[in-house]
Structure 1
């Protein structure tokens, strides 16, 4: 459906082939038998093959002429770099933030232990703020967030669904204050509306530790790059898929390649630990998932 509504000069035959390839990846019909993890070949025309610095290459493809257009909402709204793990995403976002001009502002979280929890123990008092700030897991934000005016961000919590401030909404930073962030919605029916984002207290729904961490931080992430999982539901004009680390869960590769509205909007960069180009990557498809759906 994204491909049908996209604006592209690709011929109908080529578009049909691209659409079929995406569906075959999702159904696990490439490199069969595929019931689990399998290596698949990426079509040559989709690969970024000429690079010295892979991060620079994926940024230059996805955000061409970035320094001239880094505050242009129409330029940013349909673009994103996708990666499989948050560590790679953070590395790309830090790289781009260092590139664009402007004064950088750093926001640190306030971390504490939930003392109302029935499992609370007095021994938790020895957990220092420095230790708590280094903890990371799904469901909580980074201890440290760096931003500049013009940075695209994504909400990680529902703030006001009526006004379009939902989990996954992308905005662009227009002002950085000490206690609030002013940002403008980048897409959807509320595009252009300006809102003020406050700090919030958040905890992981399923804590991996024997205590419940409470982190007070702005409910946002920088979104030049985002994880594949976080891109679900997005429709984009240009996707740079960066895979120094392969996908690891069912359907992830399909989600990544099906975000685009056109074949020309997708480029994939894969390399090994020595930064040498690779043309294959892991696809994870468990056929039993489809059997359960049937």
Structure 2
């Protein structure tokens, strides 16, 4: 919103032309006509909400979401989300092809951790836990004050986007996505599997 307001207020705005995406390229990759119609309808529904629809409520906007887009939540909302996105995960049949084109978006890192833990617990294989380094590099500082401020408990408690947690448990058969492409020649990178 801030960027949009800034651009609209700029003297350059009168020289800009607003373009809107009108063709959904994802439709071309879908095999069945029913899937194409569903995705086409959904993309038009999203496009109709470009800008803000609904009404303003103390600076917030309310948008009505159709009931067909909402999940009926049981006692465990995490289980409801996971089973909706990955229906075969319960049966231990989660394969690479089941992961393609599916994702769970989360508003906070806490929910990400809950979802990851739930899915990890579904895998009955034995896991191995890896811990991060929990001390400061002595070469970067001659002052011992930093080690008193940055205690191992503090360092182990850091939870940031793009940085793995202190304790990471990995199980055989669990999908792993690297945060960065580390070493292509050793295969330590996220690659698209050729079809």
Q: Structure 1 length normalisation: TM-score?
A: 0.49
DSSP-derived class of the 2:45 partner = helix
Cα distance between partner residues in 2 of 1:84 and 1:9: 33
More strand by share: 1
Larger Rg, first or second structure (1 or 2): 2
DSSP-derived class of the 2:31 partner = coil
Cα distance between partner residues in 2 of 1:20 and 1:164: 40
Cα distance between partner residues in 1 of 2:146 and 2:56: 50
Selected match of 2:107 from 69, 84, 90: 84
Alignment of 1:158 with 2:163, yes or no, is no
Cα distance between partner residues in 2 of 1:82 and 1:3: 22
Compared with structure 1, are the counterparts of its residues 13 and 107 closer, same or farther at alpha carbon in structure 2 (3 Å cutoff)?
Answer: closer
Per-residue deviation at 1:131? Answer: 2.5
Alignment of 1:42 with 2:65, yes or no, is yes
Instruction: Say if 2:53 and 2:62, in contact at 8 Å, map to a contact too.
Output: no
Alignment of 1:10 with 2:15, yes or no, is no
Compared with structure 1, are the counterparts of its residues 56 and 24 closer, same or farther at alpha carbon in structure 2 (3 Å cutoff)?
Answer: same
Q: Which structure would you say has the larger RCO, counting Cα contacts within 8 Å and 6 or more residues apart?
A: 1
Structure 2: gaps of 5 or more residues: 1-24
Per-residue deviation at 1:4? Answer: 3.4
Compared with structure 1, are the counterparts of its residues 139 and 4 closer, same or farther at alpha carbon in structure 2 (3 Å cutoff)?
Answer: same
Cα distance between partner residues in 2 of 1:16 and 1:32: 26
* Mapping 1:128-167, distance limit 5 Å: 128-161=151-184, 165-166=188-189
More helix by share: 2
Corresponding position of 1:51: 74
Alignment of 1:124 with 2:175, yes or no, is no
Compared with structure 1, are the counterparts of its residues 11 and 64 closer, same or farther at alpha carbon in structure 2 (3 Å cutoff)?
Answer: closer
Corresponding position of 1:98: 121
DSSP-derived class of the 1:59 partner = helix
Compared with structure 1, are the counterparts of its residues 110 and 94 closer, same or farther at alpha carbon in structure 2 (3 Å cutoff)?
Answer: same
The number of residue pairs the alignment matches comes to 169
**Any idea what the Cα deviations from partners look like across 1:148-179, whole Å, max 9, x if unmatched?**
1111111101224578754xx3xxxxxxxxxx
Per-residue deviation at 1:51? Answer: 2.3
Q: Structure 2 length normalisation: TM-score?
A: 0.70
Instruction: Say if 1:105 and 1:147, in contact at 8 Å, map to a contact too.
Output: yes
Corresponding position of 2:53: 30
Instruction: Say if 2:56 and 2:62, in contact at 8 Å, map to a contact too.
Output: no
